[in-house]
Chain A
Amino acid sequence: MTLDLSGSAPRLRPPTASQGWHGQLQLNFVYQGQKTVPLQPQTTAPLRLQRPFYPEGGVCHSVIVHTAGGMVGGDRLSLSLQLQPHSQALVTTAAAHKVYRSSGLPTQQQTQIRLQAQTCLEWFPQETIIFNGAQHQQMTRIDLEPGAIWLGWEITRFGRSARGEQFSCGQWRSQLEVWQQGQPLWLDRSYLQGGSDVLQSPHGLNGSPVIGSLALLGYTLSDLQLATLRDCSAPGSGDTGITTLINGVLCRYRGASSQAARAWFISLWQALRPIYLQRPGCLPRVWGR
């Protein structure tokens, strides 16, 4: 990737740049022959799906690639995932996702996830970096049928803080909804206005550029299991908390380091996975770099 000092997108635009790119991905996982298979995945540029891996038996490890590395104003992404009964998939992304400064139009990402009976989706996108001046909206809706489990995380950095950039203008909105049989289990709607007092106030970000959430839905932990989770060592810096949701659990991070957030989330996932999936954690090989 070219070194980007301006905050603008370091890439060639498609011919119809004024319209932006609309990347689409549709995945339909089915359980057949003792393993989970993505049946005829559909993608359009700039999204692409790598060939699935099976490092631990039947669980399908899939990696989504954004070939342009990020989004500019006017770009949209629409992702749709469905897991047919008894399928199990772990989905991650190949690299950090960047949302560049917008010249006016917002960027939008929509994700629809439908988990049928007795399925499990582990959803581990890598960090999203919201550049100063970005205007980003993301909406994720997850529908769980009985016996379906979703475990996902999201790590967001506001501004390229390593080079001292702050999120002094722009806007970020995130809406994540998890429903089960017509009832909302968890509605997580957040927004951040660039340059607002929320960035510094202890009630908001407290001067921290990174926030992260890990949630498990569709599985209620016993008190003992919750205590096990709370025994996982917290990251060396940043604020963390663990609580229960309606039929689920939520862990939040607020701090300076997306690496620390991810390391904590991996340790929580490793503690949780034997509980909800009766399997030890198995790190996707794309993270090995």
Chain B
Amino acid sequence: MWCGGAIAQDALEHPDWQGKGFAPNVPDHPLREIISGLAFRTHETKAMQSDDFNNPGFLAVEEGAALWSKVDGAAGKSCASCHQEAVQSMKGVRASMPKWDEKQKKPVNLEQRINICRSENMKAEPWKFGSPELTAMTTYVGHQSRGTPVSVRTDGPMKPWFDRGRQLFYDRVGQLDMSCANCHEKNYGKFLRADFVSQGQTNGFPTYRLQTQRLVPLHERFQGCMFDVRADPYKPLSDEFLALELYIAWRGLGLPVETPAVRN
């Protein structure tokens, strides 16, 4: 059904998500407790995520690592030519995305930042959203922030984007007339036909989804949730999804990055 689908294993076990989060340390936060989507999954799924040898998302981490030092484009460079060791240079990057980009005059997320480097610094073709390359690189770079608390900026030029994102989060859309908040603020922790709904946090992305057996980038997840309420989804990397990504990152301030997380 809507968002998720039948994962029988999760239906058999009520997740013990209560008390697994922390109180937000900003005023006027809509959540009493900020909780990772991981807390709403089964012991089995949690175990799979926490064991790097069993976490299928690590295939993409390895692919990304190989691409990191692969020369591509007219400038004859690889990512490593400019950034050397990702373990050091990319630490914490994912946790602060989306970030204001002075040149573009808008916030950019990790996928977009990677493609800016490809076209401007490597003189290479940008990778398509959803391509195995872009998702693998996003996963590899994201993974270097594992454990770093999410800490996006929402002030200054980010403020209108933040406000737009908040509006989108509460907008009711689609034939089913539902908002993100209807499920992820009002009803997290509850069983919705075939799945336990989480807070819709973004700290695990790209996530390995057991249902599709591949890594799913964040904006694809957004599209899926909109599609399932019979709404016409916004496009990946659109201004709308950028704003939504920023706003939801703020809802999860302080959550540790889990990339690559494992979810249903």
Binding partners A and B? no
Residues of B within 8 A of A (CB): none
Residues of A within 8 A of B (CB): none
